[in-house]
Structure 1
Amino acid sequence: MASFKIEGGHKLNGTITPQGAKNEVLQILCAVLLTPEKVIVNNVPDIIDVNKLIFILGELGVKIEKLGSNSYSFQADELKLEYLESENFKKDGSSLRGSIMIVGPLLARFGKGYIPRPGGDKIGRRRLDTHFEGFIRLGAKFRYNKEEHFYGVEADELFGTDMLLDEASVTGTANILMASVLATGTTTIYNAACEPYIQQLCKMLNAMGANITGVGSNLLVINGVDALGGCEHRVLPDMIEIGSWIGVAVMTKSELTIKDVSWDNLGQIPNVFRKLGIQFEKRGDDIYIPEQESYEIQNYIDGSVLTVADAPWPGFTPDLLSIVLVIATQAKGTVLIHQKMFESRLFFVDKLIDMGAKVILCDPHRATVIGHNFQSALKATTMTSPDIRAGISLLIAALSAKGTSTIHNIEQIDRGYENIEARLKSIGAKIERVA
């Protein structure tokens, strides 16, 4: 298993263009199953999770053509549905949580969808009830094989209905949305996730001939259509990677420009980083981060300690809380990080404590960070990446630390970040990938 060796303490400088959004593209690729016509997708990131899904689509019989470094065409006109009940699919699908989103399109178009219990990050329970309750409301029959951890839904026909989701699940909303576009009648989804990823999926489906209104709100109305056609779609830049590059810049006291960030789709991200005292400028559609020797966390107006918490969109994304926590270790001031959604996502803080950070893990969901204000540098250490976001956070900490750090299990980082060491080297980082 590969590792990174990082010589920290160096200032960086340059320009970075963010990759396509991982959380969007996993939905978009599943949507190609809704039509027999050709679909072209641009700005597809070359990362492990996306490549796994492309492999699964290929095994399912989708004709895939690579048009450029980050562009593909997909045509699902001659699918091999028997693959869904094969041992190979049970192995392939279980290694990727995003594979759950093939179920909705397959159910809509072919009347059946199967999936092994998907894997993914070790960040706590990530239940699938929202997905399957939605399919059942549309008229599907659900079955689960406990011995093989294998889920299935089947329906001769899906019928539009009104539903109130028990949680604003992004993948659940996407899956139900894709199932309902070909259902008979009208479906309303209330408490729908409204992240830019979902908005992008809706725009793509409408371009294919779907009839979805309420895009951008938490009430989606879908009038079912008989069939969908092909389209061309461009994936947004990855807001999580943009936040990660901001973290790289401030922790290494570096000047950095992040290109083409799609400011309109960043939501609360700029506001939260400003509350941490970080300076940056909007230059066209770019973010310019100047070199800054220190940054001070703002308290609330009554003087109480700032809390940064995750929430469904348009709240702050949970995927950036790990980055915020690392940035706070060298800020001036104190902040409470409240991770509401996943109970294991803060467990990586013990690695930061080993590096000299002042972090109090209050419980599985909350951590208090007392910043060093760069008066005491983090110390290099050896650590293991538990998940994608903790992995990049530990990498940012290592870039800031004095000495040489080693990070094991970097496949976790590769799952979400394209060619990360080469891009870091391009702005002056001292990082090597070792076997």
Structure 2
Amino acid sequence: MGTFKIEGGKTLKGEITPQGAKNEALQVLCPVLLTSEKVRITNIPDIIDVNKLITLLGNLGVKIQKNGPGDYTFQADEVNVNYLKTEAFKKEGGSLRGSIMIVGPLLARFGCGYIPKPGGDKIGRRRLDTHFEGFINLGAKFRYEREDHFYGVEIDGRLQGAYMLLDEASVTGTANIVMAAVLAEGTTTIYNAACEPYLQQLCKMLNSMGAKISGVGSNLLTIEGVESLGGCEHRILPDMIEIGSWIGLAAMTRSEITIKNVSWENLGQIPNV
């Protein structure tokens, strides 16, 4: 196992620009599946989990163009949903926790979504109940293949808007349900919804694509379903965990550093600590 050797007693100086937020990237990459039009996303961090999700989208048939560092254009006009039932997908999807968030968009647009038991970081309890209970509330049928640990949701026709109270304010669960509900028929009301900044970013992106989501930033979201979504351009926020870490490091070492492009208005309580 690799080790880090840290020698203390040093002060820091200079400038640093934080990368795009991984947790936002894993959310906002998935709505590209909701439209056949082009979606351009910038400030995408070059990290393993995000790159895995981009590769997964490509294997599903999404056309991907890299315009520059962290700058991609996606077009999901020829999605191959049959790939979801292959052994390659089971292996690929199982290696990435964030792969669960492709299920909502696929279910909404193509009537089916499948996912193997996701992998990723083993940090605390990370249930999938919230995701699938939300899909069931929207009218989907759930199935589970015990031998392969393979989950699926399907629907004949269009999802139906519904009232639901989430049993936990899951960020990824809320994101997944919102992405499914934007194309549902009727109104969906989600109580106890997560309201973190990256979820707000997802909702703003979806609204720019033509969705009708209100209550963004609160624990009560109302979604008026639409027939279809269009393309958009979206920029990912800087990683607030990274920004907070640099602030803490500077404070502990009594250093003066400059952190650039921090999106101050979205930092919440971090500057007040």
Q: Normalised by the shorter chain, which TM-score bucket?
A: over 0.9
Question: Which string of whole-angstrom CA distances, capped at 9 and with x for unpartnered residues, describes residues 299-354 of structure 1?
Answer: xxxxxxxxxxxxxxxxxxxxxxxxxxxxxxxxxxxxxxxxxxxxxxxxxxxxxxxx
Q: Which runs of 4+ in 1 moved over 3 A?
A: 1-9
For 1:15-414, what aligned pairs fall within 5 Å after superposition? 15-156=15-156, 157-271=158-272, 274=273
**Separation (CA, whole Å) in 2 of partners of 1:49 and 1:7:** 30
Aligned to 1:277: none
**Separation (CA, whole Å) in 2 of partners of 1:85 and 1:210:** 29
Q: What is the identity, as a one-letter code, of the residue corresponding to 1:139?
A: G
Aligned to 1:323: none
**Separation (CA, whole Å) in 2 of partners of 1:12 and 1:173:** 39
Q: What is the identity, as a one-letter code, of the residue corresponding to 1:83?
A: Y
**Separation (CA, whole Å) in 2 of partners of 1:150 and 1:265:** 37
Q: CA deviation at 1:11?
A: 2.1
**Separation (CA, whole Å) in 2 of partners of 1:191 and 1:268:** 22
Q: Runs of 5+ in structure 1 lacking a partner? A: 275-435
Q: What is the identity, as a one-letter code, of the residue corresponding to 1:171?
A: T
Q: What is the identity, as a one-letter code, of the residue corresponding to 2:25?
A: V
**Separation (CA, whole Å) in 2 of partners of 1:48 and 1:243:** 22
Q: What is the identity, as a one-letter code, of the residue corresponding to 1:60?
A: L
**Separation (CA, whole Å) in 2 of partners of 1:56 and 1:6:** 37
**Separation (CA, whole Å) in 2 of partners of 1:89 and 1:248:** 41
Question: Which string of whole-angstrom CA distances, capped at 9 and with x for unpartnered residues, describes residues 195-216 of structure 1?
Answer: 1111111111111111111111
Provide closer, same or farther for how the CA distance between residues 167 and 253 of structure 1 changes in structure 2, counting only shifts above 3 A.
Answer: same
**Separation (CA, whole Å) in 2 of partners of 1:2 and 1:60:** 35
- Secondary structure at 2:29 match in 1: helix
**Separation (CA, whole Å) in 1 of partners of 2:213 and 2:254:** 45
Aligned to 1:320: none
**Separation (CA, whole Å) in 1 of partners of 2:57 and 2:2:** 27
Q: What is the identity, as a one-letter code, of the residue corresponding to 1:45?
A: P
Q: CA deviation at 1:238?
A: 1.0
Question: Which string of whole-angstrom CA distances, capped at 9 and with x for unpartnered residues, describes residues 386-422 of structure 1?
Answer: xxxxxxxxxxxxxxxxxxxxxxxxxxxxxxxxxxxxx
- Secondary structure at 1:73 match in 2: strand
Question: Which string of whole-angstrom CA distances, capped at 9 and with x for unpartnered residues, describes residues 273-309 of structure 1?
Answer: x3xxxxxxxxxxxxxxxxxxxxxxxxxxxxxxxxxxx
**Separation (CA, whole Å) in 2 of partners of 1:99 and 1:8:** 39
**Separation (CA, whole Å) in 2 of partners of 1:4 and 1:58:** 35
TM-score between the two structures when normalised by the length of structure 1: 0.61
Q: Runs of 5+ in structure 2 lacking a partner? A: none
Q: CA deviation at 1:3?
A: 5.4
**Separation (CA, whole Å) in 1 of partners of 2:107 and 2:24:** 21
Q: Identity, % of aligned pairs?
A: 77
**Separation (CA, whole Å) in 2 of partners of 1:64 and 1:260:** 27
Q: CA deviation at 1:5?
A: 5.0
TM-score between the two structures when normalised by the length of structure 2: 0.96
- Secondary structure at 2:183 match in 1: coil
- Secondary structure at 1:72 match in 2: strand
Structure with greater contact order relative to length (CA < 8 Å, sep ≥ 6) = 2
Question: Which string of whole-angstrom CA distances, capped at 9 and with x for unpartnered residues, describes residues 155-196 of structure 1?
Answer: 112100111111111100000000000001110111111111
Equivalenced residues, count: 272
